[in-house]
Amino acid sequence: MIPKSFLIGSSFLVVLMGCGSTPDANSNPTDGSRSIVVTYSVLGSVVEQLVGDLATVSVIIPDGQDPHEFEPSAKDIESLNNADLVVANGLDFEEGLEQTIDRAIDSGVNVFMVGDHITVREMSKDEDHGHDEDHAEEESTETTVESEEEHAHGAYDPHLWLSPAAMLEMLPALADAISTATGADLTSQLAALQSELTALDAQITETIDGITCELVSGHDELGYFADQYGCEVIGAIIPSLSTTSEASAGELAALKVEVEEHGVPAIFTGLGTSQDVADQLASELGVKAVTLSTHFLDGAVNYREFMLRLTQQIADALQ
């Protein structure tokens, strides 16, 4: 017979061993306890669809706020620093988050930059969307440092999510990054999303097909969309990749000439573009001013719905 005192001692030892043990961080990696932080909502919707309930996905920039101008709170910074994975644009899009993301990387936070995994659209220093030399001489000499750098060195277009082809290009790398961070097998989710985005690309092509797709946007935001679907970007109210810039009187005058020469029936406005300026320009030209939600979901349940709505608005305005 085993002495009672031995049983008590053995039980106490087991309890001590249980209390002192540390669970493996990867022991249950797919129970939703992993944290993925995404910078803005459109990109967040793609991540959420890929991840499902295998991790908790949160978005830093509230839907409807301009990602070009957003500044993080202390809580935002804490969430980002504590994430198992951060997913960001990576092409100077989240301007107010850049220092925070850089510091997070320096401290060891795992950050996936979408722009590192697509064919990036580069705007050369000579690209001016039709603003010819005669008009350029009339433009105001007052310009931002950012626009000077863009014209001098070229710039990378960060609006990559406006082409499903770009999203398809980066999806395998994103799935690998999420799997590494969470321990989840995303093979089936990746295949399903790739199939959905391939079909989406074909549907957008069909919608745009047969339309004279000449685009005037709020700022230089529709380049990836135009390149993918055979459109031409005539110009922008703010001739910059960022809404933090402003248009000069000379640039607006040059844009008016381009719109008249091309017979464009509508100009598109959106987040970061002055509605008053857009309405006045449209009134003077006798065209429609159509507001697009290009930078945030605005009620769309997923990326597919977001892109189909955007495409239909463009097609309806140009027909």
Inside any domain, residue 302: no
pLDDT for position 127 = 55
Instruction: Flag residues of the chain having pLDDT under 70.
Output: 1-32, 124-154
Inside any domain, residue 176: yes
Instruction: Take residue 82 and report the two structure tokens written for it.
Output: 């504590």
> pLDDT of 287-303, one tens digit each?
999 999 999 999 999 99
Please say whether the beta carbons of 243 and 237 come within 8 A.
no
Instruction: Take residue 273 and report the two structure tokens written for it.
Output: 């573009």
User: Where are the alpha helices (H) located in 183-237, listed in sequence order?
Assistant: 187-208, 223-229
Inside any domain, residue 66: yes
Inside any domain, residue 296: no
pLDDT for position 303 = 98
Inside any domain, residue 175: yes
pLDDT for position 144 = 36
Instruction: Take residue 153 and report the two structure tokens written for it.
Output: 């060195």
Burial class (CB in 10 A: 0-12, 13-18, 19+), 301: exposed
| C-alpha distances in Å from residue 112, one per residue of 3, 82, 99, 176 | 59, 15, 15, 10
Inside any domain, residue 213: no
Residue 218 three-state SS: strand
Name the residue among 171, 159, 169, 175 with its Cα closest to residue 91. 159
Please say whether the beta carbons of 247 and 274 come within 8 A.
no
Domain that holds residue 189: 35-119+163-195
**What single DSSP character describes residue 72?**
-
Q: Dump the DSSP string for 38-70.
A: ESSHHHHHHHHHHHTTSSEEEESSPTTS-TTT-
What pTM does this model have? Answer: 0.82
Please say whether the beta carbons of 295 and 270 come within 8 A.
yes
Q: What CATH number did the domain enclosing 174 receive?
A: 3.40.50.1980
Inside any domain, residue 115: yes
Domains in the chain, number: 1
Inside any domain, residue 43: yes
Rounded-to-integer distance, Cα 113 and Cα 85, Å: 11
pLDDT for position 123 = 84
Please say whether the beta carbons of 119 and 166 come within 8 A.
yes
> pLDDT of 246-265, one tens digit each?
999 999 999 999 999 999 99
pLDDT for position 32 = 66
Please say whether the beta carbons of 57 and 82 come within 8 A.
no
pLDDT for position 154 = 56
